Amino acid sequence: MTGVPVDVSAAHELVDVLTTLAIIAAVGSLVLLTTVGLTGWWVVRRIRRSRALRRGALSVRTVAADPAGRRVARQRLAVQRATDATDRALADARAHGRPLGELPAVAARLAGAAAEIENRLRLVASEPDPALRRALADDVDGAVREHGRLSSELRACLLRTGAAVGDTQLQRAGTSLALEVDALAAWGPAYRAPGRVA
């Protein structure tokens, strides 16, 4: 029987090429799967931490749950809205270079109190007995109102400080304008002197 001559080195080269391609495909697949997995993890993490989504879920609970559950959801929503408004007011004041004094430290203490109230309200919301949930919501209600009042006072203080800075800037602009008007009035006759063509 006559056989076809087989080139052994060509077979080894083919095996080496196929092995290399398999390794490249495996590494590429591993990189792709890792990238997809990390991206999915990041998206899920962002969604879970999203204040807007949490607030939206609370907004739904203010309408959909039993009366005690609706009240707790409204309280949680009030605390979150007050905290968000205070954060926005502080960020705005910082961005415009307004004097803040100790207000950021006060805001941090308010944020800590808000986190504590939020934890208490989360526990109240998970209570299965509606009567107990209602009683616990009554207990937390004073803290929620006080937090809202203090947050409002802090924001009002920031706005008053901004208004005072704005009023001072308006006074400076008015003084500068008055000086320029006086200067132009003083120079006016010099420009209208005989021999000058206006």
- Residue 133: the pLDDT is 86
In Å, how far are 90, 161, 170 from 99, measured between CA atoms?
11, 7, 17
Residue ranges making up the domain that contains 124: 67-185
pLDDT in tens, 42-90: 888 877 666 665 655 555 555 556 788 888 888 999 999 999 999 999 9
- Residue 182: the pLDDT is 73
pLDDT in tens, 88-123: 999 988 888 887 888 889 999 999 999 999 999 999
**CB-based contact 34:41 (threshold 8 Å):** no
Is there a domain that residue 128 lies in?
yes
State the pTM of this model.
0.55
Q: How many domains does the chain have?
A: 1
- Residue 85: the pLDDT is 93
Q: What Rg value do the Cα atoms of the chain yield, rounded?
A: 35
pLDDT for residue 139 is more than 70: yes
Is there a domain that residue 164 lies in?
yes
Is there a domain that residue 50 lies in?
no
- Residue 61: the pLDDT is 55
Mean pLDDT across the chain, nearest whole number? 81
Is there a domain that residue 181 lies in?
yes
Secondary-structure breakdown of the chain: helix, strand, coil percentages, each rounded to the nearest 5? 85, 0, 15
